[in-house]
Chain A
Amino acid sequence: MIKIKAKDVDVFYGKKQALFNISLDIEENQVTALIGPSGCGKSTFLRCLNRMNDVIDICSVKGEILINDFNINDKSCDVVRLREKIGMVFQKPNPFPKTLYENVSYGPTIHGMAQSKQEMDEIVETSLKKAALWEEVKDRLHEPGTGLSGGQQQRLCIARAISVRPEVILMDEPCSALDPIATAQIEELIDELKKEHTIIIVTHSMAQAARVSQNTGFFHLGQLIEHGSTDKIFKNPDNKKTQDYITGRFG
């Protein structure tokens, strides 16, 4: 099943074009990895998927992005609802300067997802459990989120992202600040999360892309050079540029 369909997407920052004619299908309940050299447009593409580029004044997006067959670039799109459905986790863990509990309950509160304190407690607990953080923090829910280790903070941000039950989770280099153990925990989590969510992850680690994803897209200079099963991309890519990049022969 195709969850997201990008069709001929162009992105400009002012006059400078950052993405050229990107067409890409993202499969539901799978992990898609986006790889490519720095500045090739991975984050820009990711931001297209929940209209985060809207907040950048000089940025303009052309083309269609269909999520569940609905074009999110359409005027009728409710961007707040969209961002509820399409969650995002960033490179640097960025918990709010609030308690753990408030970090997770923030989204459900603004989206009015809980009718009572008890319901909210449940949302917080299940989100933290799904993010594999519950056991470590259940006794300190009312301490500040910023007091956690980097890996824990990142899992807190994932808990925050999944608390509003998004259909899609976008992750932009979520493990770049983490040690191998914390990275493995996040990767295990991603594997778990894909049962209920569609995941798109940007990573600079070829090994990580190979480990966590089922599909991989390779971007270069604003173009999608190759997209296919991760297995194929890492064993026998069709495109020479892809091969040069993943084997470390670039430039």
Chain B
Amino acid sequence: MSEAPHTVKSYEEELKNLNANIIKMGSACEDSLSKAIQAITSRDNNIAEAVIQEDEKIDKYETLIEQQVVNLIALRQPMAIDLRETVTALKMSSDLERIGDLAKNISKRTLLLNENLPKNLVDSLNRVSTNVQKQLKSTLDAYLERSAPMAVNVWEGDEQIDDLTNLCMQEVIKYLKENEKNLEDGTHLLFVTKNIERIGDHTTNVAEQVYYLVKGEYLEGDRPKGTEPIVTGEK
């Protein structure tokens, strides 16, 4: 944090600690997401199991951060930048927790998938997820550096994720139509794709919080939107 230290050292410590926990929670989410993608694309059930297990750790961070926030508000009555640190930590932790859940859900579905997925689908999933992973990393960097422009970059990048998601969905739908036997795998893949997109949405929420934290005002305007999402397979 670039601010001068508090006169009360224990208060300073508590805020630093909160900050550190958000970073740790964020890294845990990054880790889960990248493992979840690795597990599904390289068909590695061990890694998928690990992601499912590690979600518990992420949940615990959320509880811890919530307790710290409540304590700060009750006992320190934070103001100005400290208030924004405290409140955004609470909101960020709940978005990060959702990211952890979604990564876990991807891994659960991974365990149910057949061994051999068509290469084009794997590539397509990889494309969306690489993008989302980059976004998540940039968001956490923006938080670490208290950088509003970096947060805005992430925010604007959400559009591209929507587009890549739609492309991926189209391919999965094509795969579904090819053969009745693809029904089960195809359905899981639709959900997986959707989950990745939602991880992108939560990442964008976090980026909005970072912006508010730094600037003390909300990012104006509607979130940039890509092509309309595909609701049915007709077209």
B-contacting residues of A (Cβ < 8 Å)?
206-207, 210, 234-237, 242-244, 246-251
Residues B8 and A248 in contact, CB atoms below 8 Å apart: yes
Partner among A235, A250, A251 whose Cβ is within 8 Å of the Cβ of B80: A235
- Within 8 Å of chain A (Cβ to Cβ): is B217? yes
Give Cα distance in the complex from A234 to B83, angstroms.
Answer: 9
Of B6, B11, B79, B83, which is in contact with the most chain A CB atoms at under 10 Å from its CB? B79
B185 interfacial contact with A, CB 8 Å:
no
Closest 3 CB pairs of A and B: A236-B216, A246-B79, A249-B4
B6 touching A235, Cβ below 8 Å: no
Residues of B within 8 A of A207 (CB): 77
Which chain B residues in 73-111 approach chain A with CB under 8 Å?
Answer: 77-84
Which residues of B sit under 8 angstroms from A242, Cβ to Cβ?
Answer: 80
Residues on A with beta carbons closer than 8 Å to the beta carbon of B8: 248
Considering the complex, give the chain B residue whose CB is closest to the CB of A233: B80
Which one of A206, A234, A237, A248 lies within 8 Å of B11 (CB-CB)? A248
Could you say which residues of chain A place their CB within 8 Å of the CB of B83? Answer: 234-235
Name the B residues within 8 Å of A210 (CB-CB).
79
Judge if B114 is at the interface, Cβ distance under 8 Å: no
The B interface, classified by DSSP as helix, strand, loop or mixed, is loop
User: What residues on A are CB-neighbors of B5 within 8 Å?
Assistant: 249
Contact A235 B84 (CB under 8 A): yes
Cβ contacts under 8 Å, B77 to chain A = 206-207
A206 B79 Cβ-Cβ under 8 A: yes
B120 CB → nearest A CB, Å? 49
Chain B, range 1-40, C-beta contacts under 8 Å to A: 3-8, 11
CB distance A243 to B81 under 8 Å?
yes
6 examples of A-B residue contacts, CB within 8 angstroms = A210-B79, A235-B84, A236-B216, A246-B79, A246-B80, A250-B7
Q: A206-B79, A207-B77, A236-B216 are contacts. A249–B3 as well, Cβ < 8 Å?
A: yes
Taken together as a complex, chains A and B put the C-alpha atoms of A248 and B6 apart, in Å, by: 6
Q: List B contacts of A236 (CB < 8 A).
A: 80, 84, 215-217
A249 vs B11: C-alpha distance in the bound complex, in angstroms?
Answer: 10
Q: Say yes or no: A247-B78 contact (C-beta < 8 A), given A235-B216, A236-B216.
A: yes
